[in-house]
Structure 1
Amino acid sequence: MDFHIFRLFYFMIVAVFIFHNSCYSDEAGNYRFMKDATSAPKLSYFDYIIIGGGTAGCALAATLSQNANVLVLERGGSPYDDPTATHINNFANTILNTSQNSLSQLFISQDGVYNSRARVLGGGTVINAGFYSRAEDEFVAEAGLDRNEVEAAYEWVERKIAFEPQIKGWQSAFRDGLLEAGVSPNNGFTYEHIVGTKIGGTIFDRDGHRHTAANLLEYANPNMIVVYLHASVHKILFTTNGNARPKAYGVIFRDGSGVFHTVELATQDPTNEVILSAGAIGSPQVLMLSGVGPAAHLAVYGVSPVIVDNPMVGQGMADNPMNPVFIPSPEPVEVSLVQAVGITKFGSYIEGGSALSVSISLTRSFFDSVLKLLEKTRLPTQSISSFLKSLDVRLNVTTKAGVIIQKANGPLSSGHLKLKNTNPDDNPLVTFNYYQDPEDLSKCVEGLSTIIKVIESKGYSKYNYPGVSGRGLLNLILALPTNLRPRHITSTFDLQQYCIDTVMTIYHYHGGCQVGKVVDNNYKVLGIDALRIIDGSTFLKSPGTNPQSTIMMLGRYMGQKILRERAAFRRKEEET
């Protein structure tokens, strides 16, 4: 009897072990539908071709695969290849890693500001600071989205990747400082966008492991989806018969070995589509390379034929400006990314993190990459060499410190994107025109003034050296090459000039294929059939404090809408 009980107990343990490992296999992204693009046939057919397996693309693909054959073409690799790269402790190292096969691709805007593009399945959710917060109600209303369906789509995302963070010392002090500085009320933990101070969600679990948009592919029907990694899309193919509207029918992509492949829409269903989800940089770039954009600009680079002359492609490019303040701490600080946030009434969002560590060799590598990029541009190289000489000292300071940033809502300032060449793997030329609009600049000044109050508050005092003023800490930033812009140091401290001189990106760039200008309210490209764009390039402004949740929500929301349209068409066909 005892033997049988032992044997039963043994098999229970084995069963639990197998179950655990099968679940872990899914979480680790060992999807049998995820393949390297070198395994792709020369010609294949799918119902939906999604260009970009990023923040929107993964949610969209998982949804469409429930009732259609879906192909995802992702230019990067898998986020599961190196789990340490996506751990919270390696956030800074991962986003600064600019090697050829890294998850992040460096680009420098024409404004002289360093920026990064994700180059991995899961997109920006793999390299960002992990903060999860929904859009404001006004954003949803202006986008014409159904509130109930939006709520359901957010919840669908949150079941896989969103968590309530553990609030420790530094974030608690930061929260208390915000409240003392007048960013009230205290809204506690919530995903909602509410004026005041709150604790938002995070895509890092309790062990510091990142959960990304790629995890949403766990929802996918594995028999109805294929994901090709290291698949660089070169152009979208269009039918152009006489005076008929052009129609997207396929895509040409290149694998990591340099071999070109063609994938076309299956012809049996006219609801099949090509969908661009390559992000605010990639989507307008691919559109232009495919012959959709300003005809005169495309002619300069020999893009032919011009399918649709639309001068608005690449316009409305915006990046929410960020200005940081580093605060060396007399006390040890935990590693934390964004958890507490201040949503002010005047349009600045205030966030913070602590104890971010960066390896010296990797930072030097980052600036080596900057210099290589600058060799191809006319941007100045000021301050970089002197910064590298003092790099060790700077790192010792920042590894025992907090950083508080302000982000200007909107923004109202915007610029444009232009091609640099016809290589889709190269970054195009992007200008954001930071702080060109006086209202954006006003938000920055008020935001920094609030940060100064936080630093000098009693609630935050444990993490600031006695006698060190907020203004004094701002001067520290002026000594660092946070960007490639010139410094204007005067005898009187000018917060407006400080905002302009020290501006950085918060990686919330958007626009380039905006609703009403490049796509309609259903995200269909104007003047073209069977082509949509579903990602942040369609946004008129950045949603909420941080956009990732809303971009994933949009992928789910539009996926369901497309499936309903597909089902309605089939019913109509059956009736006739």
Structure 2
Amino acid sequence: MALLFNPLTQFAHVAIATPMTIIGLVPIFAAGLTFLRYINYDPEAHPKDAPRIYQQYDFIVIGAGSAGAVVANRLSEIPEWNVLLLEAGGDENEISDIPLLSGYTQMSELDWMYQTSPPTDSPYCLAMIGDRCNWPRGKVLGGSSVLNAMLYVRGNKKDYDHWAELGNEGWEWPNVLPYFLKSEDNRNPYLVKTPYHQTGGYLTVQESPWRSPLSIAFLQAGQEMGYPVRDINGEHQAGFMLAQGTIRRGSRCSTAKAFLRPVRNRKNLHIAMRAQVTKILIDPKTKIAYGVKFVKNNKPQVVLARKEVILSAGAIGSPQILMLSGVGPQEHLQSFKIRTLSDLKVGHNLQDHVGLGGMTFIIDDPITLQKERFQSMATAMEYILHERGPLTALGVENLAFLNTEYNTDPDWPDMQFHFAASSVNSDGDHIKKISGLRDSVYNTVYKPIRHAETWTILPLLLRPKSTGWIKLRSTNPNTYPDINPNYFTHKEDVLTLIAGIRLALNVSDTKAFRRFNSRPHKMPFPGCRQYPFDTDEYWECSLRHFTFTIYHPTSTCKMGPESDPDAVVNPRLKVYGIKGLRVIDASIMPKIVSGNTNAPTIMIGEKGADIIKEDWKRKKRRS
């Protein structure tokens, strides 16, 4: 956990306020020097901004997020390689360290604060201001692993087997599982005993030390519905579980804390913060990527790459940077008078998990996670002194993977539940801010129950058929791109979600929840009053109003074989038509994984770094 005060400042106050001789000051200076040495070697001390950036590096990694931090760490393991990691944002802070406050990092300086464009065909986000959904993305060391709910979910093994079936050799489950294990330092003994978890990696994974009574009821409800309580990261996925999170001693374990802080003193790794990349430099004749343009301290700068440029800016940032650099759909680039160096479907195939936000259930017992209940000095001290208590809660306490009637493979669930012992009314002002919910909607639907005890399920569609795009709006790198997820353009997506919503109603109707007198909050959205509760029309209208995503954009730089006309990178993550350039982040997923995307993105970083090492080792042998 980050220090909440500076001991050296305390020493200074003592020295000023107390008349002391030079001899009397010696113990204080000694203690101060000891503390400084500790900070220098503490594996969790924050990285420093590189004081000087060299003119040339072997590898330049763009983006220090869930993948980029991993890539920079692993490449700098080779002592003769020097690596520059460029991050547009700054460092984490004390607020981002506290698990329960994860929502407060959104719409802050740590967030790019993207928004979707208003829908063009199929309506969505109608309850949000301007019919736009907010899409938080991390603009900070650690990227979106600093903003997310810390959930550690790998997806289904059949996701990766399907990637391989699509022509991506080496990405089947047996080949990716070792990279999940490589990162992991799991601190739940009952999980470590299985072949699906491991200790000793950089990334700490464990359950929160605190949970509400409702989290146990959720597990019992799953059993009543015929699902096992199991490790959904194990052999089988369908079932209910206590959430595993990327937390360490009660605090967030972002990829910056896990992968950058322990290696920040490596001489061959430079980390440049607040350095926003504007363009990848590509020789138009040789089609070789040879450097990067970026802005730091309001000054345009150029740095060159001897070996490769690695793009890890995420499913929004990576396609935008590629297109600004001349790699993308030729017709689209020509409309901005950008010279096309490789005509690829960059920005196409955008996929995201989508569901119904604000699905609220009311109970009678005062056992939910209400903000007012835990705003106390006792709660703060329990966290600071013992690394326990409600502030260690992930926000999402439980997960479940279920099968709707539209799923044909029971071992490949199509619906995910996120359970929380709180809801929109629990912290209305903040939820309004981060979701962009209209005042009229909040005041009509949620404000009337602002003092009620409530819990929620967020049902998420795991394998949507609807896909969208990322497009440029301008050649100015500071202009956010056109983000259109095209939610609900396929009717089956809507029908599957409605089936998932009814499964969530079944959870509330189990004995486990009926003992709390659980019942659904039935106040309709203003635009849905004409439909009776629990009809298909009612739920479709609700979905198109409180359209909710937990920010899993993927697949905009699709990985595929050379025969795939939609592929942007090959299975070695090299950009087609350009030498010395790879993409390593969630944008390369050919199909979105069946679950939260942070752990799979870290895996992509691990595997991508190994691929680079293998390729350069092979080149060295040939030479």
| TM beyond 0.5 | yes
Could you say what the CA RMSD is over the residues aligned between the two structures, in angstroms?
A: 3.0
In the alignment, what sits opposite 1:278? Answer: 313
**Distance (whole Å) between structure 1 residues aligned to residue 178 and residue 117 of structure 2:** 37
Partner deviation per Cα, 1:297-343 (whole Å, 9 max, x = no partner): 2222232x221222x11110111112131223432224542342221
In the alignment, what sits opposite 2:373? Answer: none
Cα 1:559–1:477 shift into 2, 3 Å: farther
**Distance (whole Å) between structure 2 residues aligned to residue 392 and residue 322 of structure 1:** 18
Partner deviation per Cα, 1:62-90 (whole Å, 9 max, x = no partner): 111111211111111111xx212331231
> 1:26 is paired with a residue of what secondary structure?
coil
Q: Is the 8 A contact 1:235 1:286 kept in 2?
A: yes
Q: Is the 8 A contact 1:94 1:104 kept in 2?
A: no
**Distance (whole Å) between structure 2 residues aligned to residue 423 and residue 191 of structure 1:** 45
In the alignment, what sits opposite 1:226? Answer: 270
In the alignment, what sits opposite 2:332? Answer: 297
In the alignment, what sits opposite 1:520? Answer: 570
Structure 1 residue identity aligned to 2:502: S
In the alignment, what sits opposite 1:78? Answer: 91
Q: By how many angstroms is 1:120 displaced?
A: 1.1
Query: Higher mean Cα deviation, 276-285 or 143-152?
Result: 143-152
Matched, 1:187 2:220: no
Structure 2 residue identity aligned to 1:250: G
Q: By how many angstroms is 1:27 displaced?
A: 1.5
**Distance (whole Å) between structure 1 residues aligned to residue 448 and residue 253 of structure 2:** 31
Matched, 1:260 2:260: no
Partner deviation per Cα, 1:168-196 (whole Å, 9 max, x = no partner): 412111222222233x1221575565112
Cα 1:186–1:23 shift into 2, 3 Å: farther
Q: Is the 8 A contact 1:55 1:125 kept in 2?
A: yes
**Equivalent in 115, 123, 136 of residue 116 of structure 1:** 136
**Distance (whole Å) between structure 2 residues aligned to residue 326 and residue 249 of structure 1:** 53
In the alignment, what sits opposite 1:56? Answer: 67
Cα 1:421–1:448 shift into 2, 3 Å: same
Structure 2 residue identity aligned to 1:26: P
Q: By how many angstroms is 1:439 displaced?
A: 2.6
Structure 1 residue identity aligned to 2:485: F
**Distance (whole Å) between structure 2 residues aligned to residue 332 and residue 264 of structure 1:** 57
In the alignment, what sits opposite 2:502? Answer: 449
Over the matched positions of the two proteins, sequence identity in percent amounts to 26
In the alignment, what sits opposite 2:455? Answer: 402
Within a 5 Å distance, the mapping from 1:22-41 to structure 2 comes to 22=39, 25-29=42-46, 31-32=47-48, 34-35=49-50, 39-41=51-53
> 1:452 is paired with a residue of what secondary structure?
helix
Cα 1:289–1:258 shift into 2, 3 Å: same
**Distance (whole Å) between structure 1 residues aligned to residue 619 and residue 172 of structure 2:** 21
Partner deviation per Cα, 1:442-466 (whole Å, 9 max, x = no partner): 220111011001112111235554x
Q: By how many angstroms is 1:505 displaced?
A: 1.3
Structure 2 residue identity aligned to 1:354: A
Cα 1:491–1:150 shift into 2, 3 Å: closer
Residue segments in structure 1 that go unaligned for 5+ positions in a row: 1-9, 267-271, 371-382, 480-485
In the alignment, what sits opposite 2:525? Answer: 478
In the alignment, what sits opposite 1:3? Answer: none
Q: Is the 8 A contact 2:420 2:457 kept in 1?
A: yes
Cα 1:392–1:198 shift into 2, 3 Å: closer
Q: Is the 8 A contact 1:419 1:428 kept in 2?
A: yes
Within a 5 Å distance, the mapping from 1:204-223 to structure 2 comes to 204-207=247-250, 209-215=251-257, 216-218=259-261, 220=263, 222-223=266-267
In the alignment, what sits opposite 1:376? Answer: none
Partner deviation per Cα, 1:242-297 (whole Å, 9 max, x = no partner): xx4x1100000001x3101101012xxxxx11111110000110001111112222
Matched, 1:88 2:116: no
Q: By how many angstroms is 1:499 displaced?
A: 2.8
In the alignment, what sits opposite 1:165? Answer: 208
Cα 1:104–1:529 shift into 2, 3 Å: closer
Q: Is the 8 A contact 1:292 1:309 kept in 2?
A: yes
Q: Is the 8 A contact 2:362 2:455 kept in 1?
A: yes
**Distance (whole Å) between structure 2 residues aligned to residue 404 and residue 359 of structure 1:** 16
**Distance (whole Å) between structure 2 residues aligned to residue 319 and residue 286 of structure 1:** 20
In the alignment, what sits opposite 2:552? Answer: 508
Cα 1:188–1:113 shift into 2, 3 Å: same
**Distance (whole Å) between structure 1 residues aligned to residue 599 and residue 246 of structure 2:** 10
In the alignment, what sits opposite 2:356? Answer: 323
Partner deviation per Cα, 1:546-571 (whole Å, 9 max, x = no partner): 11111101101111121122122212
**Distance (whole Å) between structure 2 residues aligned to residue 535 and residue 332 of structure 1:** 40
Matched, 1:343 2:397: no
In the alignment, what sits opposite 1:150? Answer: 176
Cα 1:70–1:503 shift into 2, 3 Å: same
In the alignment, what sits opposite 1:133? Answer: 153
> 2:240 is paired with a residue of what secondary structure?
strand
Q: Is the 8 A contact 1:340 1:352 kept in 2?
A: yes
Cα 1:250–1:488 shift into 2, 3 Å: farther
In the alignment, what sits opposite 2:19? Answer: none
**Distance (whole Å) between structure 1 residues aligned to residue 612 and residue 225 of structure 2:** 46
In the alignment, what sits opposite 2:419? Answer: 352
> 1:500 is paired with a residue of what secondary structure?
helix
> 1:251 is paired with a residue of what secondary structure?
strand
Q: Is the 8 A contact 1:360 1:395 kept in 2?
A: no
Partner deviation per Cα, 1:208-241 (whole Å, 9 max, x = no partner): x111111212454711111111111100001122
In the alignment, what sits opposite 1:250? Answer: 291
**Distance (whole Å) between structure 2 residues aligned to residue 477 and residue 178 of structure 1:** 27
**Distance (whole Å) between structure 1 residues aligned to residue 138 and residue 252 of structure 2:** 15
In the alignment, what sits opposite 1:379? Answer: none
**Distance (whole Å) between structure 1 residues aligned to residue 114 and residue 216 of structure 2:** 33
Residue segments in structure 2 that go unaligned for 5+ positions in a row: 1-26, 120-131, 165-169, 186-202, 370-389, 405-413, 561-566
Cα 1:261–1:356 shift into 2, 3 Å: farther
Structure 2 residue identity aligned to 1:412: K
How many residues matched? 509
**Distance (whole Å) between structure 2 residues aligned to residue 345 and residue 23 of structure 1:** 51
Q: By how many angstroms is 1:393 displaced?
A: 3.5
Q: By how many angstroms is 1:360 displaced?
A: 6.7
**Distance (whole Å) between structure 1 residues aligned to residue 88 and residue 233 of structure 2:** 34
Q: Is the 8 A contact 1:250 1:264 kept in 2?
A: yes
Cα 1:287–1:224 shift into 2, 3 Å: same
